[in-house]
Amino acid sequence: MQQQQYRPARIFFWLVLWLLATIWVRPLLPPDEGRYVGIAYDMLRLHDWSTPRLDGLPFFHKPPLFYWITAAALKVFGLHAWAARAASVLGALAVAAALFWFMDRWLNRRAAVLGTFVLATMPLFFGAAQYASMDMLVGSLIAVTIMLLATASERLQRGQRPGAVLPLAYVVSALGVLTKGLIGLALPGLVMLLWLALERRWSHLYKLISLPGIVLFTLIAVPWFVLMEVKFPGFLYYTFIYQQFDRYVSTGFNNAQPVYFYPAILFLGLLPWSLLLTYLTLRAKKQGLTAQPITRLAWVWIAAIALFFSIPNSKLIGYILPVVPALALLAGQWLDRRWDERKWRRLAWACALGGAALGIAAVIVTTVEDRKSLVNLTDTVRAQMKPGEEVMFIESYYYSVPFYLHRANPIRVMGQWNNPQYSAGDSWTTELYTSGKFDPEAARQILITPDKLRNYLCGSAVVWVYMPDWAKGQYPQIAASPEVAHQYGVGVYRLGGEKRPKAAEEVCGDGDHAQH
């Protein structure tokens, strides 16, 4: 690397272009992207930025920061899938900038460049930066908090004052809490506690407690939670006990995976860099990668967070993102030591090109193999819909459809809502059912039971119905109605209006049309 390549502005110019290169290619993928972007869209539609709502129902699985950023991006740039991924891109850029700054400060400029280079070309990082969910944003905020706290400790160790980085760490931690709850505070605290104990910096355990930081943390993180508890009694129990503590210790949620899940994900998701990282792990002591406090921090950082998320039965890929910058730090530090050796420079470029190719290939494959977003189906419906006509989902919830329809009103969802077993488990029915408990009046209008079907078959208003093929036997009157479009096992039917199929006439009789 030549000296002119070390300029941060040039590095981040190319990093921005790289992360934006394919962000526009694929549609929103259900359930996660459709769900979270749909909630942000509801904030715009309802002009209510305080309460996250899924299809008009209060949705308290996660705090609001991701939704706020996404809604702001949609308002500024329009209803585009690439704009809906702004929060993830911003999170990726923030952690890359923090890693560069951290390595530049405590290692050297070339190591910082190499660490950022490694991070950007890790397929897991690249893919997560273009996926609209909380994982990249909260993972980045956790990693940035760790680096800020470690910087404050290193300054204390050198007899310096921590300066602004210490209260800034509290601010970033508060943003993590506003993104995904207590892990924004707990995981940086866990990593720092273990690292300070390893370094025997016992006095730092209290010296890193900052009164201005606590005040800033409280002002940023607490008000929204208090407001929601006032508006929706029981919110705090649901958010902190059910959604966080119970999900962590329970075995009843989805995505049960073995204890080796995250090592496997890291190895596959960071290829081909994971081959180099495996080599470094096996030879860490011999290569001197345990000699410095900052490198020991990286090892503690990786081990603590990987172990934390490996304990629960339920595991998701995105949970492990906070450790990826630490792995890039180790790889960048080691490459810096060997950069003058031609074979290692070639190996680094091969890993970077291979990682970039895998990242782009994953985007292409995901786009080609998409069988869930129903974009083409929904475009067909939107072209034929008239203002004021309604939409209904039957026995399913199609998360990305409201966003692509640009719906001004909630979509009614017909299902067996009177059956207690219908909303058991961890599924879309549970999400809507538990959300409806916080606003029963809205739930009565949105979550409807099959006995109300006659109103929609016989009403004068047009209703566009999305129904999976497997439900045709349960709803023969709908199946007998005109099918406007069909894609991936989902049909769209037009109900109501002046023209009705024979099956509907048999239900409605010859009287006047019912109103709903």
pLDDT at position 407, please? Answer: 85
Q: Do 327 and 392 sit in the same domain of this protein?
A: no
Judged against a pLDDT cut of 70, whether residue 507 lies above it is answered with no
Q: Do 294 and 392 sit in the same domain of this protein?
A: no
Mean pLDDT of the residues in the chain: 91
Lowest-pLDDT range of 4-8, 88-92, 98-102, 167-171: 4-8
CA distance 154 to 315: 34
Q: What is the largest CA-CA distance in the chain?
A: 90
Domain residues for the domain of 491 are 375-508
Distances (CA, A) of 410 to 57, 119, 424, 492: 9, 40, 23, 17
CB 49 within 8 A of CB 71: yes
The answer to whether residue 102 is domain-embedded is: yes
| pLDDT tens-digit series, residues 449-463 | 999 888 887 777 889
Q: Do 214 and 325 sit in the same domain of this protein?
A: yes
pLDDT at position 513, please? Answer: 44
Q: Do 276 and 362 sit in the same domain of this protein?
A: yes
CB 338 within 8 A of CB 288: no
CATH number at residue 440: 3.40.50
Residue 195, number of CB atoms within 10 A of its CB? 24
Contacts of 427 (CB under 8 A, 6+ apart): 254
Q: Do 348 and 400 sit in the same domain of this protein?
A: no
CA distance 515 to 331: 67
The answer to whether residue 288 is domain-embedded is: yes
pLDDT at position 418, please? Answer: 87
φ and ψ at 353, to 5 degrees?
-65, -40
Contacts of 501 (CB under 8 A, 6+ apart): 480, 481, 482
